[in-house]
Structure 1
Amino acid sequence: MNYETVIKRSKKMVERNNQEVRVIYMLLEHVLNLPTSHILANLEEEIDENKLEEFSELLAEYVVDEKPVAYILGYTYFYNLKLTVNNDVFIPRKETEELVGIVIDLLKDKEDMIVADIATGSGNIAISVKKNLKVDKMYAVDISDKALDVASKNASDNDADIHFINGDLLQPLIDNDLKVDVIISNPPYIKEGYPLSNAVYNHEPHLALFAKKDGMENYERILVQSKQVLNDGGYIFFEIGFDQGQRMIDLIKRYYPNDKYEIRKDLSGNDRFVIIEKISN
């Protein structure tokens, strides 16, 4: 069977389920170790039977099992970094790349910073920030040992010096009397019971998805705990849900009433990013 026939048949399967056609090319690139440009330029070329079988199995995982393509491939790309992912970690999203861009832009002129990435997951935030800013020490905390195993591998693969700590939000920093200049967190923020796609609900770790108090519990706990951790003049950066902007403002006014804050929108026009600058003690 040649490339053209495989692509046409695969498109019918994918489009029937309203799934993404681009995944066909991602899987072909992965199996054949060839760029899409070569495949499209050589549509009459025959595919090795073993490669075809491997591709068909992976496509079935995507179409039938609705498994996210990042989990099928075992990796994804984030801020120009190749990161290992599996179902022990949340798959990094494009919005979080926007968050990292905001952090880098705001802090690009600062030096010798001590930074903490809370609920690090795959380590995507910690690693990308460490590699793009003048960070003296980067802590990355997660409650899941399995997630930290993935994050540690990603840090090693991308030559990033990260101090990984198992624990619940900022508590391990408090326990060790550690102070930081910057806190960054994209914690679980989906309210319990919120409807999700099968691909997300059935495959991504619920520990990394859901939070109590309509999704706001982790933000409130971090703000409370940060009082013992964040240095004066320091920053807190959050990624939030599209409908959580006003509730976040309410929390900020409760716990950081005299400090500067800003809610920024993502590229889709939704409230998505929070910046708090600590002015007072």
Structure 2
Amino acid sequence: MKVHEALKWASSFLEERNLEQPVAQILLKHHLQKDLTQLYMAMHDELSEEQHQHFIADIHSYADGTPVQHLTGVEQFYERTFIVNQDVLIPRPETEELVQGVLQRMAKKYSEQTTVKVVDVGTGSGAIAITLALESEKMQVTAVDISEAALTVAKENGTKLGADVTWIHGDLLQPLIRSNDKVDIVVSNPPYIPIGEQETLSPYVSEKEPASALYGGEDGLDFYRRLTDEIPFVTGDHAMVAFEIGAGQGEAVSQLLKDKFPKASVEVVFDINGKDRMVFAEW
């Protein structure tokens, strides 16, 4: 079978099932180890029997509910390639906006400092921590996760991408509290989906991504409550907090921060899709 024939078959197969047709192109690029331009140039090449069979198997796996990122083993974030698997949350484009927001505010707030200490809480694949470390030489980044399996993935990504990040196994900010470490910035994309919304999620999410990275209790706010209680123990007189949140949680999360830090300037920021997606607090 030629490349263009395989692509046509897969696109039709996915269209009939109301699934994302571009997945066919993503998987072909993966199996042929080609970028998009190279794929177009190879449209009349023959697939080997092994490539053909693996491609068909992956199309069926995707149709059965396996995220395409688990089939390719990677996802793009901030124009870098991150290793992902079933142990970590797949990085989302919205989280890139959180990173951008942190970098922009850091440049203004800490313009006089030569080093800015940052902790990424619940690092998962390490996407936030690694990106911050690579995008700013000023940032001294620590990343914490309660999942040892997730930290294994994060460390592998850090090594592959050449990021200088300190990786710590632990529960939220507890390791820093115990060691009496202080930071300038706390950033986190914690689990924030209310447990009752599990049935509304795509099976690609609810059945394939780690539950510990998805659900934040009855109202989705459990981890924000815990974090706002712990943050005073690791910050000083001048600090910044950056949270990613679920759509519709902006008011509740901003109120948690205002109650805990009455002198802080708190801002809810909407993402490119017009949904409240980030909350920043500065004092």
TM range (shorter): over 0.9
Report the 3-state secondary structure (helix = DSSP H, G, I; strand = E; otherwise coil) of the residue aligned with 2:238: strand
Q: Is the 8 A contact 2:11 2:22 kept in 1?
A: no
Partner of 1:169: 172
Q: Does 1:190 align with 2:193?
A: yes
Partner of 1:58: 58
- d(CA) in 1 for partners of 2:94, 2:39: 31
The alpha carbon displacement at 1:101 in A equals 0.8
Partner of 1:274: 279
- d(CA) in 1 for partners of 2:130, 2:204: 26
Partner of 1:253: 258
The alpha carbon displacement at 1:4 in A equals 2.2
- d(CA) in 2 for partners of 1:43, 1:148: 39
AA aligned opposite 2:104? D
Q: Is the 8 A contact 1:239 1:274 kept in 2?
A: yes
- d(CA) in 1 for partners of 2:213, 2:75: 17
- d(CA) in 2 for partners of 1:168, 1:30: 36
Change (3 A) 1:32 1:207: same
Partner of 1:78: 77
Report the 3-state secondary structure (helix = DSSP H, G, I; strand = E; otherwise coil) of the residue aligned with 2:47: coil
AA aligned opposite 1:120? T
Q: Is the 8 A contact 2:82 2:125 kept in 1?
A: yes
Q: Does 1:11 align with 2:7?
A: no
Q: Does 1:37 align with 2:37?
A: yes
Pick from 205, 215, 221 the counterpart of residue 200 of structure 1.
205
Partner of 2:152: 149
Report the 3-state secondary structure (helix = DSSP H, G, I; strand = E; otherwise coil) of the residue aligned with 1:233: coil
User: What is the alpha-carbon root mean square deviation over aligned residues?
Assistant: 1.3
Partner of 1:134: 137
Report the 3-state secondary structure (helix = DSSP H, G, I; strand = E; otherwise coil) of the residue aligned with 1:168: coil
- Taking only the aligned residue pairs, the percentage that are identical comes to 37
Give me the TM-score of the superposition, normalised by structure 1.
0.95
- d(CA) in 2 for partners of 1:80, 1:90: 18
| Structure 2 gap ranges (5+) | none
- d(CA) in 1 for partners of 2:135, 2:40: 36
- d(CA) in 2 for partners of 1:224, 1:147: 24
Partner of 2:106: 107
The alpha carbon displacement at 1:36 in A equals 2.8
- d(CA) in 1 for partners of 2:233, 2:266: 19
- d(CA) in 2 for partners of 1:41, 1:82: 23
Change (3 A) 1:168 1:11: same
AA aligned opposite 1:157? K
Q: Is the 8 A contact 1:148 1:166 kept in 2?
A: yes
The alpha carbon displacement at 1:42 in A equals 4.2
